[in-house]
Amino acid sequence: APMALLAAGMAGLALLPFLLPYWRVYADQGLSRSLVDVEMYSASIADYLTTPGRLHAWLWSSRFSGTALFPGVVGFGLAVVAVATGVALRDGRARMCLAMGVVGVALSFGIKLPGYAALWEALPLLHAIRAPVRFGYLGVVAVAMLAGFGAVAIRRRVAPQAWPPLVALLMTMAAIETMAAPIGLSRFEGVPAIYATL
């Protein structure tokens, strides 16, 4: 508990320059997002099944729409390896990644998460957040970091000569499943008249 309080205090000091402007806008100008806004921009399961990757869209993701929070099959699989082998609990760094991901995903559901409304009341900083769905990106980042721990766990279990081809396969699979090309672009035909007037 003392170390957790010390960490919270140090994090608060480090974030103070970032948090003070939010506090001033909240206190002086009354900027506050309502719980109705929070509900409208909260995550759903569909967000975690949505991806911009062409392969997943072709296979199944095109049926869903929302904020693309699907972390990818390769990344998620390697993160599961990190959890299943116990690395995610034994290693302090991996444990931090796991905690960050779990908390981020939980908070992304906004008021659908039991206790979020009470947390919103207790922490004025949450009043400035219009779209809690974006907390889900912490889950995506956590999966990416845990995937690294999972890859190390696999490396320790496979023969040295099997590792290079396995890395090549994993990297190729990860690149293919996240590819969002070709990206449709529009030719620039000048600023539309309405915007030119503004």
105-153: pLDDT as tens digits? 999 999 999 999 999 888 877 887 888 999 999 999 999 999 999 999 9
Provide the token pair at 103. Answer: 């908390």
- Residue-level pLDDT at 155: 95
153 exposure class (CB count in 10 Å sphere: 0-12, 13-18, 19+): buried
Q: What is the DSSP string of 71-94?
A: --HHHHHHHHHHHHTTHHHHSHHH
Alpha-carbon distance of 86 to 18, in angstroms, equals 36
Type and span of the H or E element at 4: helix 2-29
Flag whether pLDDT at 34 surpasses 90. Answer: no
Scan for tokens 């939980």, then name that residue.
106
Average pLDDT, the chain: 90
Provide the token pair at 158. Answer: 């496979």
What's this model's pTM, rounded to 2 decimal places?
0.80
Q: Model confidence over 43-89: pLDDT tens digits? A: 999 999 888 888 888 888 788 878 889 999 999 999 999 999 999 99
Q: Model confidence over 157-191: pLDDT tens digits? A: 999 999 999 999 999 999 999 888 888 888 888 88
Let me know: does 38 contact 162? Beta carbons within 8 Å: no
Q: Model confidence over 84-95: pLDDT tens digits? A: 999 999 999 999
Instruction: Name every residue whose Cβ is closer than 8 Å to that of residue 80 and which is 6 or more positions away in sequence.
Output: 150
- What one-letter code names the amino acid at 23? W
Let me know: does 163 contact 105? Beta carbons within 8 Å: no
Helix runs in 85-192, H state only = 87-90, 92-108, 116-122, 136-155, 163-178
- Residue-level pLDDT at 31: 75
Flag whether pLDDT at 26 surpasses 80. Answer: no
Let me know: does 154 contact 81? Beta carbons within 8 Å: yes
- Residue-level pLDDT at 81: 97
- Residue-level pLDDT at 191: 84
Alpha-carbon distance of 198 to 189, in angstroms, equals 18
Provide the token pair at 59. Answer: 């296979």
